[in-house]
Structure 1
C-alpha cells in the first residue's frame, strides 16, 4: 500500500526521511521531559537556568517570530521562479508551503500578542530548521517530475485537509489572541471557545491536519516523514501545555484533553 501511495524514493532520500522523522520525534520527547525550546512559555519554568538565559542576546519576541518565518516564506516565493515548470502536484506543494508561512507572518503582524524576548541563537536554529525542512519539501517534489505518478492519487483529499487545517489553526490562534487584554500582557486565561472546550491545543490539532494535507498532496516519503514527525513533536507540546494549565489553574476542567478530543 505504501508503494501505491508514494513516489519511488532513493536510498539517500529514504535515509534522510527516516532521520528527519526521528529528530522531530525526539524533540517531542524532549518537550515531555521538560527540555523546551527557548521561545516557549514553558522554557525555564521551575528551572535554575534563568541566569544563564538572561545573559543571552535577545530580540523582541515579535521581531524574532517574524524573522523565523520570513526567509522560508521568501524561499517559497522564490521556488515559483526557480522551478517555473512542473505538474499540478508540484504547483500545489509550492503553493501550500508558501501559504503556510504567509499565514504565520500574517499572524505575527496582526494576530498574536507577544511579551518578552527571544534568544538570537534559538531564533537562528529554528529559522534554519524551518528553512531546511520547507526547502527540502519543495526540492524533493521537484525530483519527482517525470516519475510515474502513485497509483492512488491523494492530492485532492490533501487539498481539503490542508485548507481545513490552515483555517482551523488560524481561527484558534485568533481566539487565543483575544485572551490577552493588551500587547505585552503576561496574563493567561483558560480558553473555552471553538474546540478549546474539548482539547487545550486545537491549534496544534489543526496544524497536524494541515501537515497531513500537505503530505497527501505531495505523496513523497519525505513529506510523510515531516508530517508524522511534526505530529509527534506537537503531541509533546500539547501534553506539556495541558500539564502547564493544570498547574496554573485550579479550576482547569479535567475532561479537557491535550490534543485529540476524548482520547489524548
Structure 2
C-alpha cells in the first residue's frame, strides 16, 4: 500500500478522513447524521431525482479535474483506476435519471453533504492516481474482478428495486435472490465496487474512502432493516441488513 508523505497538510487531511470514517457509522445509526432521502426523506426539499443527479455528477467533475495532468497520456494503471471511478459515478447518474423510482423530496443539506464527500473521494483517488501503484500484480486483477462484480451486481439490485415500484410508488418487500438474505444487497455490491477500486489504487486515501463507505452503508442498512420490520408485520425475521447471516 502507498502511504503519503506526512506533511502537516497530509496529517490534517488524513486525520480528518479517519475521523469521518470512524464516526459516520455511529452518527448514522443513532440518527445524529442521518441522510434525509429515500425511506428517511424529509417533508420538504428539492426533487430527489435532481438531488441525486447533482450529488453523483459533482464527483465526476472533481475526478476529471484531479486527473487532468495525466489524462492526455496515462499509463495503463492510471487509465484503469480513473475509468473505474468514472464508470461508478457515471452509472449512478444514469440510474438516477432513467432507472430509479423516486417519491418525495431530498433535503438540500443531504444533497450537499453527500455531494461534498463523494467529490472529495473522487478527487482524492484521482489525485493520488498521479503516482499510481507500479505493479499490475494479482491483487490488481482481483480488484478488476471485484469492481466488475460490484458494478453489475449493484445495477441488478437497483433494477429489481425499480421493478417493484413499476406500477405503484408504494414500498413493497423485496423478494428473490440476495434479497432473501439481506434488505440492502445494492449496498453490499457498492462496498464490493469500492473494495475493487481500493485494490486498483492501493493508496491509503482510497482505503479510508472504503472504510467510510462500509461504515455508512452498514449503519444505514440497519436503519433500513428496522424500517421494513416496523412497516411490514410479515417481514421475514431472518433477513439481515447488508452482510448475509452477519449484519
1:72 has 2:67 as partner: no
* Structure 2 unaligned spans of 5+: none
1:108 has 2:108 as partner: no
Q: Give the conservation status (yes or no) of the 8 Å contact 1:257–1:263.
A: yes
Structure 1 stretches of 4+ moved >6 Å: none
Equivalence map 1:1-264=2 (5 Å): 6-12=1-7, 13=10, 16-35=13-32, 36-43=34-41, 54=44, 58-77=45-64, 81-84=68-71, 85-142=73-130, 144-145=131-132, 149=134, 154-182=139-167, 185=169, 187-264=170-247
Q: CA RMSD in A?
A: 2.2
Query: Could you tell me how far apart the structure 2 residues matched to 1:188 and 1:161 are?
Result: 30
List per-residue Cα deviations over 1:188-208 (Å, max 9, x = no partner): 111012200011111111110
Q: Which moved more, 1:122-131 or 1:235-244?
A: 122-131
Query: Could you tell me how far apart the structure 1 residues matched to 2:80 and 2:66 are?
Result: 12
If the length of structure 1 is used for normalisation, what is the TM-score? Answer: 0.84
C-alpha change, 1:119 and 1:17, in structure 2 (3 Å) is same
How far the C-alpha of 1:255 sits from its partner, in A, is 0.8
List per-residue Cα deviations over 1:238-257 (Å, max 9, x = no partner): 11111111111111111111
Query: Could you tell me how far apart the structure 2 residues matched to 1:218 and 1:189 are?
Result: 38
How far the C-alpha of 1:81 sits from its partner, in A, is 4.5
C-alpha change, 1:233 and 1:121, in structure 2 (3 Å) is closer
Q: Give the conservation status (yes or no) of the 8 Å contact 1:200–1:238.
A: yes
